[in-house]
Amino acid sequence: MSLLVVGSVAYDTIETVQSKVVDALGGSATYISLAASYFTHPVHLVGVVGSDFKKEHIDLLSKKNVDLKGLQIVEEGKTFRWSGRYHKNFNDRDTISTDLNVFETFNPIIPDELKNDDFIMLGNIDPPLQLNVLEQINKPKLTVLDTMNLWINIKKAELLEVLKNIDVLIINDSEAELLTGEANLVKAAKQILNIGMKYLIIKKGAHGAVLFNCDKVFSAPAYPLENLVDPTGAGDTFAGGFLGYLSMQSEINFEVMRKAVVYGSVMASFCCEDFSTSALENLTEEKIRNRFNEFAEIARF
């Protein structure tokens, strides 16, 4: 079924204790779309870039069956750039610079032919923009949203309004606590689900992810990586694998969601094995399926 992704497309400069990359392909919509493309296609991407966005990256996305008719290219504008440095443990990082550039005035315009897409992924953008996208869409089968601590801190009321209109929220454990004031994840999840969504996923970084609905809980482990290179985009890649798998299913229920969470974790684990999107560019269905089976073995008791 059809999948629409709305979010950022960016260039990242990333530094770890081992190495550094400059102006590497990034952005939430990029990671989500590339991960989802291994499950369904075309994936429809809506975002904005400047005229400095490289042709090789346009070609990469197109090759992966990511449809770019919704990608706005601002002439003489500059693409969103982010720079960060990871600590040795990879759990902590320092933001060195954030240059929003054309993303600062991004106004998502959904082409008419995409307004009937069945699955909608709202990446981490300003809540009023997320709500604006929802108002442009005609009766989607499932809407999934990601957000971050910035919006919880400065636009909580607007964010809560958006959350009343979605089916699935994906956030991390610190964001869940910030949103509710509750450190206990189970209690926090109950509060968040009471806003009105059907499902909630709380990511716990290197400790996996937990899926909640009104009466069930499923905890998925993280894949044990020996060589962690770059966790940038792992959360967005999780969302892409999760929604990509769901978009193939004729029915959405808790059991299907459980598998989707594991597929999200599978894709996120691949993402962390190289800088930027490199590890996502040359995967195969066999590699993905084999790692899914490894996950199943890890979680079985």
Would you kindly state where each structural domain of the chain is located, as residue ranges? 3-7+27-70+105-299
- 206 has a pLDDT exceeding 80: no
pLDDT at 205: 80
Look at residue 1 in the predicted model and tell me its pLDDT: 80
Q: Residue 138: which pLDDT band, with cuts at 50, 70 and 90?
A: very high
Q: What is the mean pLDDT of residues 130-155?
A: 95
CA pair distance 150, 54, nearest whole angstrom: 29
Q: pLDDT at position 226, please?
A: 86
| pLDDT tens track for 183-199 | 999 999 999 999 999 99
pLDDT for the residue numbered 15: 96
Q: How confident is the model at residue 207 (pLDDT cuts 50, 70, 90)?
A: confident
CATH ID of 3-7+27-70+105-299, from 3.40.50.2000, 2.60.40.1180, 2.130.10.30, 3.40.1190.20: 3.40.1190.20
pLDDT at 227: 87
Q: What's the pTM value of the predicted model, to 2 decimals?
A: 0.96
pLDDT class for 106, splitting at 50, 70, 90? very high
* Closest to 221 (Cα-Cα) out of 238, 208, 237: 208
The 8-class DSSP code of residue 99 comes to E
At 188, which amino acid appears? Answer: A
Mean per-residue pLDDT over the chain, rounded: 95
Q: pLDDT tens digit string along 26-44?
A: 999 999 999 999 999 899 9
Question: For the segment 223-282, what is each residue's pLDDT rounded down to a tens digit?
Answer: 989 889 999 999 999 999 999 999 999 999 999 999 999 999 999 999 999 999 999 999
Q: Is the pLDDT of residue 177 over 80?
A: yes
Residue 84 has pLDDT above 80, yes or no: yes
- Round to whole Å and give the CA distance between 120 and 252: 14
144-177 burial, b at 16+ Cβ within 10 Å, e below that, comes to bbbbbeebbeebeebbeebbeebbbbbbbbbbbb
Q: Which residue has the tokens 């967005």?
A: 236
Task: Report percent pLDDT > 90 for the chain.
Answer: 90
